[in-house]
Amino acid sequence: MSEKENKQIPVKVELSVKVDGKEVFKKTDDLLTKWFNRFMTVFISTIKLSLKKLDGTDVSIPSIAYYTDFRIFNKIAIGLDNTSPTGSDYNLKNTYMTTTTLSNRVVQETDNYIILDSSANFSFTEDKTIYEFGLIGYGAGIEFLACRDVVPEGISVSNGQVLTITYRFIIGTYP
């Protein structure tokens, strides 16, 4: 197999955290869970997948050909635990808030890559320090954790402030 035939399509992920519109944290190449990687295989295969739902139970789903309601970017959650993430995480350790609406938009598209942003706003009614961030996917009637990130020092948010979380996916060869 030639080098060209053996190349993988890279997926680069950036997490941006803003408080009242001002960026306070940015991270590139965060940890995608194995559940995200397994979910992505439904787009290129007809095999059944084994995923772990947010409650930790195992589930097997057929390929995407059987379903029309797949949204890998469904919700964003924030939490209060600073335990380091692992590829086997299936939920946040201590969820504080989860969005009900998520803004998804293609930011840029070329012949070599596509950039997609998924964002959510969280309004605070009390002072909190947020440590963990998660992107939740949806497919075949289940929700699963696609990404989990931790800011060890935490992000302090005060009553009345708005926290904006953006996950940016860069799929393909980005300069």
Closest to 16 in 3D by CA, of 25, 4, 6, 7: 25
Q: What is the pLDDT of residue 66?
A: 52
pLDDT at 1: 37
Q: What is the pLDDT of residue 2?
A: 41
- Would you write out the chain's pLDDT as a tens digit for each of its 175 residues? 344 444 445 677 888 899 999 999 988 865 666 666 666 655 544 556 677 888 998 887 665 545 555 566 789 999 999 999 988 899 999 999 999 778 877 778 787 777 888 899 999 999 999 999 999 887 767 888 888 999 999 999 999 999 999 988 887 776 6
> What pLDDT was estimated at residue 103?
81
pLDDT at 117: 86
Q: What is the pLDDT of residue 165?
A: 95
In order, the DSSP letters of 51-106 are EE-TTS-EEEE--GGG-S--EEEEEEEEES--PPP-TT--S-SSEEEE-S--EEEE
Please give the mean pLDDT across all residues of the chain: 80
3-state secondary structure of 45: coil
Q: What is the pTM of this model?
A: 0.75
Q: What is the pLDDT of residue 38?
A: 61
Backbone angles phi, psi at 70, to 5 degrees: -110, 125
**Predicted pLDDT at 130:** 98
The per-residue pLDDT for 4 is: 44
> How confident is the model at residue 20, as a pLDDT?
94
